[in-house]
Structure 1
């Protein structure tokens, strides 16, 4: 049975999550964070300790009386798989309950990686990880998937993502496929959301409540968090930031979407189209790839030209980053987050992209002296999606 991505957690689950995020932690600190009686807190802690969910790890400093017991999550109580399904690469990770990464593997998403082959490959690696770490199937809590959308998390279906190299990625019941293949509860979530959950967890001691995650790659993806919780809309918001209109008289990227949209000016697809057009017109680009035909141009060859100092590619990267910064400013002016985390292929291609985009975003953001957003490329980076997917499984386990 699939997990519900938006179920309401119980008191026991909330306390467990608090221990997982803050531990080692004393009972008094837990009482400050939860509106329950001391006797109820004691009962729940005793229950979780007897069930092996948490451990008593010692005594904390005294505040005038007896030293308090300190509680932390038992890392080896269960294990969780996290899976990222993306356009270029996919990643599988095995985690303990403290989100320590036990094993991880990545693979290319080429023209042969259909949904059926991906499930077969991932299940094979999951079984290998369990064997390597001597983990029985009943000790695995479940599988969390962070995927490129649009998707329907409630039914566990990937609907119709664009730009996958392989065919048959429309209306894919991915949760059912994994559950039938390996008999593990599986949940599906937008990869941008799981990336933000993962990155937020990595800085959990900094008390950031309002955050924004934006990925600039083949498409533009975003996620918002308010008071520590992901903000959802009526439907999956995959790619919606890319349809933000920044030039009412502008072109559009393909045969669908908005004219003058952000993705038309700030995406891998837009950069590739610009370079291909230049080459077809007889331009001299990509000095290290002089034999590359226009239709063979991709981000790798473009980045090579950038690193070689090609002036036109440098100008295109700068322009793309500037447009991306405008899009960030629009989001910031609407939401005013404390932290904006940026990721994706373009952000990672060259430091210039991040620098230009954040400079433009700051200059075009409206804020008082009391508000100045912080920008980051994140702590987990390429492991953010799988970590967040595993965290979402942990937060939805039934206690």
Structure 2
């Protein structure tokens, strides 16, 4: 059993290791100001990290009058982690080294045949292929992080009852234990919005951003918030609750659940499809004649094709949704006052005008504007953010 002193030492050791990873290449002098440690204690910690193979020497830094200091960096080949995104449109599996360099990405469509059983079987097969491709064995893998559509029971590793999956069976799925049984690799679970924010924060780690928000607008709406560099968790796990923000009293309801006048009724793939189908039945838009299909079969793919052709009707459909999105974002801004807001999802990437319109509306309705102006971004990692952040989650939890 570890004593309190051993636990404290292990915590400091892990913090120093992650500090080195965060900075890239550092000397002992770079590390000391951040810790209440003597020079000799820091030497011992660095020697232990070197002896464990977690870090490596990286030459010498410039002299400040005496010996040139030894530089240290992460040993990126110490081990590897997988990051897995489970979403409704597409899922992604990524393999990363210890410096979070992506070695491979695999992305596939989630269709009506991708039940949990088929999904786990497919993931296990892809993992075997990636290990073989990179000449790795399971013993080199630290773990697999999973960023999934919620709601979830993170502690138990269970996907609870998400909506709108094309395939059946995605309720009360013990995804971590299923993945572990199929692969022999330990798994961790969190919401995809949270892991996307973890990934994007890592990609921007040298910019000193501590307060961030991530908002995803796709088949549904999801969000995550970070304060002082840490994900903020509520008493219940409801990443999709941003979609239930009421922006129009007595407004429409998306389906048979949720709030009337909620943001998701205006800003989601389903909301756009529902509006286009309703318009078509009223003789507006001409999509039924153009594509020779009934109103009920007008889908998002059709709308994207028309958006790319600058259809006046479809462009207005998307821009109206973007304006509502901007109102929702302004409410988030006024509540949390983040430094940076990262926007993701198929609506955000559908057309540059969607992003521009939404952010312009959000800025104009932000309290303290123009003194306080948050930065809006589509992110650095974009479609790879969820899987990357999921891998980072495992890396950060790795015992050192």
Report the TM-score range of the alignment, normalised by the length of the smaller protein.
Answer: over 0.9
Which range moves more in the overlay, 67-76 or 23-32? 23-32
Q: Work out whether residues 286 and 310 of structure 1, in 8 Å CA contact, stay in contact via their aligned partners in 2.
A: no
Give the superposition deviation at 1:304.
Answer: 1.3
Answering whether residue 53 of structure 2 is matched by residue 52 of structure 1, we say yes
Answering whether residue 30 of structure 2 is matched by residue 29 of structure 1, we say yes
Q: Measure, in 2, the Cα distance between the counterparts of 1:109 and 1:190.
A: 18
| Per-residue CA distance 1:259-301 (angstroms, 9 max, x = gap) | 1111111111110000011112223433895213222222211
Q: Paired residue for 1:5?
A: none
Q: Measure, in 2, the Cα distance between the counterparts of 1:77 and 1:316.
A: 51
Q: Runs of 4+ in structure 1 displaced over 6 angstroms?
A: none
Alignment of 1:1-399 (within 5 A): 10-286=11-287, 289-367=290-368, 370-399=371-400
SS at match of 2:318: helix
Q: Work out whether residues 285 and 310 of structure 1, in 8 Å CA contact, stay in contact via their aligned partners in 2.
A: no
TM-score normalised to structure 1 length: 0.95
Give the superposition deviation at 1:307.
Answer: 2.2
SS at match of 1:10: helix
Give the superposition deviation at 1:16.
Answer: 1.1
Give the superposition deviation at 1:309.
Answer: 2.7
Report the count of equivalent residues.
392
Q: Measure, in 1, the Cα distance between the counterparts of 2:178 and 2:345.
A: 28
- Structure 2 gaps of 5+ residues are 1-7
| Per-residue CA distance 1:158-217 (angstroms, 9 max, x = gap) | 001110000000000000001111111100010001111111111111111111111111
RMSD of Structure 2 on Structure 1 (CA): 1.5
Q: Work out whether residues 54 and 73 of structure 1, in 8 Å CA contact, stay in contact via their aligned partners in 2.
A: yes
SS at match of 1:141: strand
Q: Paired residue for 2:3?
A: none
TM-score normalised to structure 2 length: 0.95
Give the superposition deviation at 1:370.
Answer: 4.5
SS at match of 1:187: strand
Q: Work out whether residues 289 and 301 of structure 1, in 8 Å CA contact, stay in contact via their aligned partners in 2.
A: no
Give the superposition deviation at 1:235.
Answer: 1.3
